[in-house]
Amino acid sequence: MTDLLYFEDFQPGQVFELGSLTVSRDEIIDFAAEFDPQPFHLDEEAGTASILGGLAASGWHTGSMVMRLLAENLLTRTSGRGSPGITKLQWKRPVHPGDCLTARVEILDTRDLRSKPDLGLVNIRVTAKNQKGIEVLVWENPNLFARREVAR
């Protein structure tokens, strides 16, 4: 937590590696039971019978797991102030029990905000691959960061 990254520190083309996590069967079922109780997220047989090819994590679970990697390994070391939304998101492949997700973020562009001169907007692309190197998730969204000269 020593040298926070501010808006001015982000440049298009920068890449930050976000580390990895492994998801368990219980985590997939627990999340689905609470937030996305569709059969293929809750039950092995229903998952196998579905186009997901086996018990598969809710897309909201996958997004939330990757958000954890983004928050822990980048945003909490920055002057991040949240995000107004998601520009687009693709669930490219299902995530199954035991899958290990490795994520990275690329800085797409940065923009001043007339309405909030103490903040700037940074558009990012977040991607997550599984242990086979296959992309499972891609999202792009704008993120707000405080400017260094204002925050200090």
- 119/124 with CB nearer a copy of itself: 119
Give the nearest distance from C-beta 42 to a copy of itself in angstroms. Answer: 10
Among residues 45, 11, 1, 2, the alpha carbon closest in space to that of 120 is found at 11
Residues near a copy of itself, by CB under 8 A: 31, 34-40, 50-52, 58-61, 63-65, 67-68, 71-72, 75-76, 80-92, 116, 119, 139, 144
Give the nearest distance from C-beta 129 to a copy of itself in angstroms. Answer: 16
Q: Tell me the two tokens of residue 49.
A: 């019978």
Q: Is the dihedral of CA 96, 134, 63, 59 positive or negative?
A: negative
Phi, psi of 144 (to 5 degrees): -90, 135
User: What span, in angstroms and rounded, lies between the C-alpha atoms of 92 and 128?
Assistant: 10
Give the nearest distance from C-beta 110 to a copy of itself in angstroms. Answer: 18
- 107/136 with CB nearer a copy of itself: 136
- 13/82 with CB nearer a copy of itself: 82
Q: Tell me the two tokens of residue 141.
A: 């969204």
- 8/89 with CB nearer a copy of itself: 89
Q: Which residue has the tokens 């998730």?
A: 137
- 106/138 with CB nearer a copy of itself: 138
Give the nearest distance from C-beta 70 to a copy of itself in angstroms. Answer: 9
Q: Tell me the two tokens of residue 91.
A: 């669930």
Q: Tell me the two tokens of residue 146.
A: 């405080």
Q: Which residue has the tokens 């998101």?
A: 89
Give the nearest distance from C-beta 94 to a copy of itself in angstroms. Answer: 8
